[in-house]
Structure 1
Amino acid sequence: MSHNQPPPSGPSSWGQIPPPMPPMPPQPTGRPKWARKRIVIPAALFILFVGVGIGSSGDDQETAASTKPAPRVTVTETAESKAKPAPAPTVTVTKTAKPAPAKAKPKKTEPAAPADKVVFKVWGSAPSGVDITYGSDSDNLQGRGLPMTKTLTLKDDALYYNVTAQLQGGGDVHCSVTVDGETKTGHASGGYNICSAQLSGGLFGGWN
């Protein structure tokens, strides 16, 4: 019988039950142990390197922090002054002495005219000028300048002697006439005011 021939078929083979299949060997449910090792070992190495890197970075930070220069603290001490203490202030008490009472100056009196003379005087300030006239009832004379002093001979028949000084716009003047020891004075101030002084002969002699 040739091996290439098909098995016989026919009714005789229909009632036969085919032999059972041999049991399959159990299949592994997970990865093999060598595959697990390939995964676990690299993972462990990665974790190790990461930890070492973190540790080294921390050490570097600590080293960098430790290498920073410490801040300098400057303490300033106030040196004790060796200067000598200032001397105590000097108190000066000044007493004001009462001035001695000034001696009263004697009043300047007009010098007495000689018995046969008449004296005319004008003095003061006249910035704008002054018009002066002096003499007797029978003789009028013109004077000028301040101060002015004029002297005339006394006449027995004269009725009076006088002097006038008129300001020309301002000033302050005094005037006087003296006859036989008697003196009359006058005063004028400001504007065109007139200073006048006059002595008249009495009926029974003398001048007033």
Structure 2
Amino acid sequence: MNNQQYPQQPGWGGPQQPYGQPPFQPQPPKKRGVGKFIGLGCLGIVGLFVLIAVIAAVAGGGSKSKSSGSGHTTTVSSPSKGQKAATQPKRKVVTFKVWGTAPAGALGGLDITYGSDSDTRKGTFKNGEFEATLPFHKDALFYTVSAQLQGSGDINCSVTVDGHTKKGHASGGYNICDAQLNAGLLGDWD
């Protein structure tokens, strides 16, 4: 028989912990996460950029500078709340034109249509010319003007959007003068 005695734990019959030792192992100290440090560093960098942007907006909020080709800078002051702007911004318009000689044929006078991809209108040719305007809509895909001769004549047509103009020409017979400007991907018209 083995003469070793094991201290008994009350009620369990197993070995008893030596006096002064806790009944369980203490938890190891928490490790500092590198991720928390990196996260706070990134947040600080983003905060710095936001702070710089706010300071730049406050510093440059009172005036706008325009540079001309000759190297001179012109400063344009914004009106304060108490002042009214001297001129209201002009609404953009689209201009449609047809001009030339187009005698009425067997089917009547010159047949003119103009408008955009969502708005088509009829026009009347008087005294060798036609001109109409429509409000500019930034969502339009294209603006067009079309004029068909009725047996003879020589005509030109144009459509102008935001300073860009397309022209067309037709001569003789039942030919069609057509001019169309299309909206580009970047908001330019061609």
TM-score by length of 2: 0.49
Pair member with larger Rg: 1
Flag the structure with higher strand content: 2
Q: Which structure features the higher share of helix residues?
A: 1
TM-score (norm 1): 0.45
